[in-house]
């Protein structure tokens, strides 16, 4: 067994969903786009459904094929990208709820599937998806008469609680939805943590379920153990890895382990990241290569059989900070070569 091993704690995902649901004032959905942030949307959603989640969100309609077969016909699957050209058959067959983003999508939906449920996505300032206020005001009387399942918008800066954009978007959203009787949703993980003003009738966390920032109280979800292939002693003055980027200053024991950037261990982590062996830090030496890492391990004692990159000593946000990215990118980059074990759920 040389492939590195990823252990995914579905029970921790359920705990995180329950914790975010208990902080939300309305119903709590679960965002499982990008294959459940890389952790398997089917298994994640099946576990959350058993825990009581009744609504899920994906980014594009095709992502619902696997999801629907995992969770059965009952739970609602919402699609952020709305009703795209060519999707009518899939939307109907899998009973998906598109979040309509524009007048063009409204026309497409009402023409192809006039009696099929839909939601509406509004732009409250992020300028990414959703109808502009003027477009919404023109269409709202007709759309609201058709009873949308949800009217939603998305926050651009919710992971920065003091950012003035949060209150600005809340006010813009309120202007568009105050007084309507359709259910409303503004908050993802960050918005839940901003407090009840942001919750409305439905919250839709993603990253917090998977243990990532800004839900700093999350239970850790993933563990990544990488097997040691061989160890050697390098003497002072010898170099390790591509580009000779690390030179030993004293005799050093180097373990070569079986994972690299092809597995989503970003090359930007070269010379920066630390791995762990039973609580002992083991620094990466030299560059991340495609399939291998070279890591300094203690000179004395038996060589470790594995080193841990993600686990109790270090979560996805530590790697994200070192690589100048976000936990979302670390998770969704996790490789397809890893053996995977799912625990609980
Ligand atoms: C991805 C996404 C979410 C979930 O966001 P997290 O920050 O992962 O909680 C919610 N709503 C929309 C529109 C999204 O694109």
Asked whether the beta carbons of 185 and 78 are under 8 A apart, the reply is: no
Q: Annotate 143-157 with DSSP letters as a single string.
A: HHHT--S-EE---SS
Ligand 1 atom nearest to 158, measured from its CA: 7
Homologous superfamily of 222-343: Lyase, Ornithine Decarboxylase; Chain A, domain 1 (2.40.37.10)
Distance 11 CA to ligand 1 centre (A): 21
Residue at token pair 């000779």: 244
- Domain ranges for the chain, please list them: 10-210, 222-343
pLDDT along the chain (345 residues), means of 10: 91 98 97 98 98 98 98 98 98 98 98 98 98 98 98 98 98 98 98 98 98 97 98 98 97 98 97 96 98 97 96 95 98 96 94
Choose the catalytic residue: 33, 37, 198, 338: 33
Residue 208 has what pLDDT?
Answer: 98
Residue 332 has what pLDDT?
Answer: 98
- Look at ligand 1, atom 13, and give the residue with the nearest C-alpha: 154
147 is catalytic: no
Mutate to test the pocket of ligand 1, among 57, 79, 157, 329 (most ligand atoms within 8 A of CB): 57
Distance 339 CA to ligand 1 centre (A): 28
Strands (E), the chain: 5-9, 27-28, 30-31, 55-58, 76-79, 96-100, 119-121, 151-152, 184-185, 202-203, 222-234, 239-240, 246-247, 252-257, 274-277, 280-283, 293-297, 306-310, 339-343
Residue 131 has what pLDDT?
Answer: 98
261 is catalytic: no
Ligand 1 atom nearest to 80, measured from its CA: 13
Ligand 1 atom nearest to 152, measured from its CA: 13
Ligand 1 atom nearest to 205, measured from its CA: 9
Let me know the angle formed at the C-alpha of 192 by 191 and 197, rounded to the nearest 5 degrees: 80
CA dihedral 205, 211, 212, 214 (to 10 degrees): 60
Name which of 303, 335, 300, 160 is nearest 229 in CA terms: 303
Residue 1 has what pLDDT?
Answer: 61
Residue 345 has what pLDDT?
Answer: 83
CATH topology for the 10-210 domain: TIM Barrel (3.20.20)
Pocket around ligand 1 at a 6 A CB cut-off:
31, 33, 80, 154, 188-190, 204-208
Name which of 87, 78, 123 is nearest 105 in CA terms: 87
């Amino acid at each position: 067994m040389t492939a590195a091993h990823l252990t995914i704690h579905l029970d921790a995902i359920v705990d995180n969903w329950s914790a975010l649901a208990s902080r939300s004032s309305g119903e709590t959905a679960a965002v499982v786009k990008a294959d459940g942030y890389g952790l398997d949307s089917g298994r994640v959603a099946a576990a959350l459904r058993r825990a009581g989640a009744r609504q899920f969100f994906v980014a594009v309609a095709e992502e619902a094929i696997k999801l629907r077969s995992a969770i059965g016909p009952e739970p609602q699957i919402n699609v952020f990208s709305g009703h795209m050209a060519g999707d009518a058959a899939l939307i109907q067959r899998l009973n998906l709820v598109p979040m309509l983003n524009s007048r063009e999508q409204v026309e497409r939906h009402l023409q192809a599937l006039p009696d099929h449920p839909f939601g509406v996505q509004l732009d409250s300032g992020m300028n990414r998806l959703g109808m502009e206020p003027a477009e919404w005001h023109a269409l709202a009387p007709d759309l609201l008469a058709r009873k949308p399942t949800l009217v939603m918008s998305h926050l651009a800066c919710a992971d920065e609680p003091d950012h003035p954009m949060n209150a600005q978007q809340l006010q813009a959203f309120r202007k568009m939805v105050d007084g309507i009787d359709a259910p409303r949703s503004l908050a993802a993980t960050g918005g839940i943590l901003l407090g009840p003003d942001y919750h409305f009738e439905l919250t839709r966390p993603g990253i917090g379920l998977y243990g990532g920032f800004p839900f700093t109280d999350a239970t850790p979800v993933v563990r990544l153990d990488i097997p040691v292939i061989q160890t050697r002693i390098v003497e002072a003055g010898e170099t390790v890895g591509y580009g000779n980027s690390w030179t030993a200053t004293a005799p050093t024991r180097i373990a070569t382990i079986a994972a690299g950037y092809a597995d989503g261990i970003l090359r930007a982590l070269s010379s920066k990241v630390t791995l762990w062996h039973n609580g002992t830090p083991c620094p990466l030496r030299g560059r991340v290569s495609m399939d291998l890492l070279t890591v300094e391990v203690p000179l004395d004692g038996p060589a470790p059989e594995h080193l841990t990159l993600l686990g109790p000593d270090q979560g996805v946000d530590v790697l994200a900070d070192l690589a100048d990215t976000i936990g979302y990118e670390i998770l969704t980059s996790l490789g397809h070569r890893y053996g995977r074990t799912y625990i609980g759920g």
